[in-house]
Amino acid sequence: MKILVTGGAGFIGSHIADACLKAGYRTHIIDNLSTGSISNVPRDAIFHQLDIRNEAVERLWKQEKFNILIHAAAQMNVRKSVEDPFLDADINILGSLNLLEAGRKNGLQQVVFSSTGGAIYGEPQYTPQDENHPVNPVSPYGITKRSLEHYLHYYTTEYGLLTVSLRYSNVYGPRQNSEGEAGVVAIFCEKLLKGETCIINGDGKQTRDYIYVDDVVKANMKALGAKTSDIYNVGTGVETDVNQLYRYLKELTDSDAEPEHAEEKPGEQQRSVVDASRLASIFNWEQEYDLNKGLEKTVSWFKTRIKEKK
């Protein structure tokens, strides 16, 4: 089987590509390196520096005949989507359609899509939010992700393409870019270790469901080869507010710095936490890393990274 991982030079995509290679799949990567890094690309993967919106995508698909698409490439910054909803839609909708059209014409059998649980549901009517929770995204980013889920349903019903949408909560871990990608854990880690001041938007009481990247990768690998199409949450079911997250990281980095508070950002939810029991039931998936264990591994990686840069 031949797999194409989009965004495979980025944070989540590169970890997925590692796992695909380890499982024995012939693994290709598409990434335009706008936020990803060539250093993240696994040595044994075949890398194509290419934007998912480019017409060359179809030529590549005709040549390689990929069986499976793991679609992790995206404009993934919620705040940037608010500032520039046109760009967000261009990448996340039109770029994705470019991939799907190229694939369905050239033997694509399955898509595993990196959707969002953190931004797709909107403010919770109940918690944790399961897959039956009303979908009311409050950012263009969440809207584009939901749109792609609808398109995938269309490709399933019209062309028989198997599709699995994985609605991630807030993913964190090694390789997350503290500058080019969204991710408060990465931002706080880097600033605390460098002795810089962290900014908390609003009062810091907004909550998120933080899930370690290895558990997200495991969900992707479990979904490969699924015989049905469906949507699954990937999260821990545990809410942590930003103030508490900061305290955890402050202790792990041996910092005594206090954060500064700024105005809250438009399009930002106050609460988000998802229920992953469907994923656990169908695919025998289970969370391996709680927040403390995951943050320890993440801080350790950032410490090494900062030392290497000096």
Degrees to nearest 5, angle at CA 129 with 126 and 135 = 95
CA pair distance 205, 270, nearest whole angstrom:
8
In the chain, % of residues over pLDDT 90: 90
Token couple for 16 = 């997925």
33 pLDDT higher than 90: yes
| CATH number, position 113 | 3.40.50.720
216 pLDDT higher than 90: yes
- Single-letter residue type at 199: I
180 pLDDT higher than 60: no
Nearest Cα residue to 231 out of 145, 170, 172, 158: 145
Residue 32 maps to a domain: yes
203 pLDDT higher than 60: yes
Categorize the per-residue pLDDT at 306 as very low, low, confident or very high, splitting at 50, 70 and 90. confident
Regarding predicted confidence, which is higher, 180 or 202?
202
CA pair distance 66, 59, nearest whole angstrom:
12
Residue 158 maps to a domain: yes
Residue 54's domain comprises 2-171+212-235+274-288
| Main-chain dihedrals φ then ψ at residue 231, nearest 5 degrees | -120, 135
Categorize the per-residue pLDDT at 64 as very low, low, confident or very high, splitting at 50, 70 and 90. very high
CA pair distance 80, 140, nearest whole angstrom:
9
Is 25 among the catalytic positions?
no
pLDDT digits (tens, 9 = 90+) for 66-117: 999 999 999 988 888 989 999 999 999 999 999 999 999 999 999 999 999 9
Residue 189's Cα: distance from chain center in Å?
19
Say how many domains are in the chain: 1
Q: What is the mean pLDDT of the chain?
A: 95
pLDDT, residue 267, reads 66
Residue 301 maps to a domain: no
Residue 183 maps to a domain: no
Query: What end-to-end distance do the CA atoms of the chain give, in Å?
Result: 42
Catalytic option among 141, 155, 210, 246: 141
Residue 302 maps to a domain: no
Residue 253 maps to a domain: no
Contact of 147 with 181, CB cutoff 8 Å:
no
Residue 203 maps to a domain: no
In the chain, % of residues over pLDDT 70: 98
Look at the block and give the residue holding tokens 């943050």: 295
Residue 304 maps to a domain: no
For residue 261, give Cα distances in angstroms to 67, 79, 133, 221: 48, 17, 32, 39
For residue 60, the SS3 value is helix
pLDDT digits (tens, 9 = 90+) for 262-292: 998 876 789 999 999 999 999 999 999 999 9
pLDDT, residue 182, reads 62
